[in-house]
């Protein structure tokens, strides 16, 4: 492998003028929510830093993260893949396959020991000796541990890598396990979502490469710049929520008027993501805008917090499926009946003993 060029060199080689390059740096700064004083820093970084190798592994997943990633508009994924990072291994996107592909993995790991970024899409299943996910004839768990050992940092793409997602939903037969529970000695950046928003993915990568550090993370390890607020906090239907105007059922008058989807189970108030600001497909729309409530796909264990069409989670205990209010009402009626019976017996006893007790 040739020595890595800097971002700037690659861009110039592709015929990009310096003027366009500077524009690009300004746009990137704006996309990351950075002030203009940081643009020279980005320019400097791109002129001097060699491209960082990124190894992108695929475990138990559906490739929706990759599908999302390649649709990034700001910055265009073309720029990210061809100019900014050196995506040396991604078995879905790369041209080579089989032994050639695996050879590149080993080569990069050796040459850039401790300096490459590992991006993980999907997660390792631990049951059945990890045999539920085989990459190149070996369990994915082995590959993950091997590549993670000398990585600088790990990006957990999507809800699978971050929290487990559908394959980890009850009863999780393969014991699909999020990356941070398998790799515990590396900085891990969780970028949850099923899939994550394209611009969030490229934004996180851009930030890490530009500033050579991981973005500021919240308590759950998610980049604050994209996951610090709930969908609800920036939802354009929020005024209807505060006004008490709700869609009571799909296709009713409220739905036609674009009322709040809270009553039909929207998880916006409990979901941290950037959908209501960044939106999807070049800012075209997002679930709530299309009339369906948020299902909370970037939250831990969202598959088991059903129903997607009710605001209160079902509680599964002793084979009973009910929400907190149903359980509470039943208990209150039960206690109320016991009290009524108790009062009746008390009155009888009192009559019997003629007020003695």
Partner 1 sequence: MAPLDDAKPVATPEEEGTAAPAAGRFLKAIYVYEVPVRVWHWVNALAITVLSVTGYLIANPLPSQPGEASANFLMGYIRFVHFAAAYIFAIGFIGRLYWALVGNHHAKQLFRFPFWDRHWWGELFLEARWYLFLERKPKLYVGHNPLAQFSMFWAIAVGSVFMIVTGFALYSEGAGQGSWQDRLFGWVIPLFGQSMDVHTWHHLGMWAILLFVIVHVYAAVREDIMSRQSIISTMISGVRTFKDAEAPADEAHEQPAKKVARAG
Alpha helices (H) in the chain, listed in sequence order: 7-13, 18-31, 39-48, 64-69, 77-79, 98-111, 140-149, 158-163, 179-182, 198-211, 224-227, 238-243, 253-256, 275-278, 324-352
Interacting residue with partner 1 among 131, 341, 344, 345 (CB under 8 A): 345
Identify which of residues 141 and 167 has a Cβ nearer to partner 1 in the complex.
167
* Spatial contact of 78 and 14, defined as CB atoms under 8 Å apart: no
Query: Cβ 327 to partner 1, closest distance in Å?
Result: 7
> Does 263 interact with partner 1 (rule: CB under 8 A)?
yes
Which 227-256 positions form the footprint of partner 1 (CB under 8 A)? 228-230, 233, 239-246, 248, 254
How many chain residues touch partner 1 (CB under 8 A)?
52
Which 269-328 positions form the footprint of partner 1 (CB under 8 A)? 269-271, 296, 299-302, 305, 311-313, 315, 323-325, 327-328
Sign of CA dihedral 289, 295, 297, 299: positive
Interacting residue with partner 1 among 67, 129, 218, 321 (CB under 8 A): 218
User: Which H or E element spans position 157?
Assistant: strand 151-157
Q: What is the DSSP string of 170-222?
A: TT-TT-B--HHHH--SS-EEEE-SSS--HHHHHHHHHHHHHHSSPPPB-TTS-
> Does 19 interact with partner 1 (rule: CB under 8 A)?
no
Identify which of residues 1 and 339 has a Cβ nearer to partner 1 in the complex.
339
Identify which of residues 138 and 342 has a Cβ nearer to partner 1 in the complex.
342
Identify which of residues 3 and 317 has a Cβ nearer to partner 1 in the complex.
317
- How far the first Cα of the chain sits from its last, in Å, is 95
Query: Cβ 205 to partner 1, closest distance in Å?
Result: 23
Identify which of residues 152 and 240 has a Cβ nearer to partner 1 in the complex.
240
* Spatial contact of 215 and 176, defined as CB atoms under 8 Å apart: no
Query: Cβ 222 to partner 1, closest distance in Å?
Result: 11
**Nearest Cα to 302, choosing from 208, 231, 203, 217?**
231
Query: Cβ 8 to partner 1, closest distance in Å?
Result: 35
- CA-CA distance, 171 to 149, in Å (whole number)? 30
- CA-CA distance, 211 to 87, in Å (whole number)? 18
69, 326, 327, 342 from 334: Cα distances, Å: 53, 12, 11, 12
Stretch that binds partner 1, among 1-9, 110-118, 199-207, 216-224 (CB under 8 A): 216-224
Identify which of residues 131 and 345 has a Cβ nearer to partner 1 in the complex.
345
List residues binding partner 1 (CB under 8 A).
218-220, 224, 228-230, 233, 239-246, 248, 254, 259, 262-263, 267, 269-271, 296, 299-302, 305, 311-313, 315, 323-325, 327-328, 331-332, 335-336, 339, 342-343, 345-346, 349-350, 357
């Amino acid at each position: 492998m040739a020595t890595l060029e800097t971002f700037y060199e690659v861009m110039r080689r592709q015929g990009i003028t310096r003027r366009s390059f500077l524009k690009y740096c300004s746009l990137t700064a704006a996309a990351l929510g950075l002030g203009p004083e940081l643009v020279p820093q980005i320019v400097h970084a791109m002129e001097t830093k060699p491209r960082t190798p990124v190894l992108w592994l695929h475990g138990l997943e559906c490739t929706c993260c990759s599908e999302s990633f390649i649709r990034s508009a700001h910055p265009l994924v073309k720029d990210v893949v061809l100019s900014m990072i050196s995506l040396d291994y991604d078995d879905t996107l790369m041209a080579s396959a089989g032994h050639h592909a695996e050879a590149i993995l080993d080569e990069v790991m050796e040459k850039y020991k401790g300096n490459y970024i590992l991006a993980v899409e999907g997660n390792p299943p631990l049951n059945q000796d990890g045999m539920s996910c085989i990459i190149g004839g070996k369990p994915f768990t082995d590959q993950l541990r091997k590549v993670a050992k000398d990585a600088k940092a790990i990006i957990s793409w999507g809800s699978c890598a971050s929290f487990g997602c559908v394959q980890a939903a009850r009863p999780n037969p393969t014991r699909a396990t999020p990356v941070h529970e398998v790799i515990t000695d590396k900085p891990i950046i969780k970028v949850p979502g099923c899939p994550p928003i394209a611009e969030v993915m490229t934004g996180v990568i851009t930030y890490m490469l530009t500033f050579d550090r991981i973005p500021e993370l919240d308590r759950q390890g998610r980049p604050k710049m994209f996951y610090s607020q709930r969908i609800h906090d920036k939802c354009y239907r929020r005024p209807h929520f505060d006004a008490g105007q709700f869609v009571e059922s799909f296709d009713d008058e409220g739905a036609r008027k674009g009322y709040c989807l809270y009553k039909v189970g929207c998880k916006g108030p409990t979901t941290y993501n950037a959908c209501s600001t960044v939106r999807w497909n070049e800012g075209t729309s997002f679930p709530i805008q299309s009339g369906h409530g948020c299902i909370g796909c970037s939250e831990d264990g969202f598959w088991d917090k059903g129903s997607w069409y009710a605001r209160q989670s079902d509680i599964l205990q002793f084979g009973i499926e009910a929400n907190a209010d149903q359980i509470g009402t039943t208990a209150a009626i039960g206690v109320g009946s016991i009290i009524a019976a108790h009062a009746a017996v008390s009155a009888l006893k009192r009559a019997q003993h003629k007020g003695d007790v």
